[in-house]
Amino acid sequence: MKRFTVLALAIVISLSSLAFAGCGENNTKSRPTTEATAATTAETTSQPSDNEELSKYLNSFIEGDEEIYGVWSLEYMTVIFRNDNLAELVMGSEGYFSKYQMDKKKKLLAVQLLPNTIDGAYTYNFSDDGKTLTLTLDSQTLTLEKQSDFSMIPKAPKNPKTDSSILGWWENSEGWIYYFGNDGIMYNNAGSRETCYTYSTENGKIKAVYTYGGELEENLTYKVKGKKLVIDGETYTRK
What is the 3 state secondary structure string of the chain? CCCHHHHHHHHHHHHHHHHHHCCCCCCCCCCCCHHHHHHHHHHHHCCCCCCHHHHHHHHHHHCCCCCCCEEEEECCEEEEECCCCEEEEEECCEEEEEEEEEECCCCEEEEEEECCCEEEEEEEEECCCCCEEEEEECCEEEEEEEECCCCCCCCCCCCCCCCHHHCEEEECCCCCEEEECCCCEEEEECCCEEEEEEEEEECCEEEEEEECCCEEEEEEEEEEECCEEEECCEEEEEC
- The pLDDT assigned to 175 comes to 96
- The pLDDT assigned to 50 comes to 63
| Least confident span in 18-22, 157-161, 164-168, 180-184 | 18-22
Average pLDDT, the chain: 84
- The pLDDT assigned to 3 comes to 52
- For the residues 17-30, what does the mean pLDDT come to? 35
- For the residues 177-182, what does the mean pLDDT come to? 97
- The pLDDT assigned to 213 comes to 86
- For the residues 95-117, what does the mean pLDDT come to? 95
pLDDT tier at 76 (50, 70, 90 boundaries)?
confident
pTM over cut 0.85: no
Question: Residue 180: pLDDT above 90?
Answer: yes
- For the residues 160-174, what does the mean pLDDT come to? 97
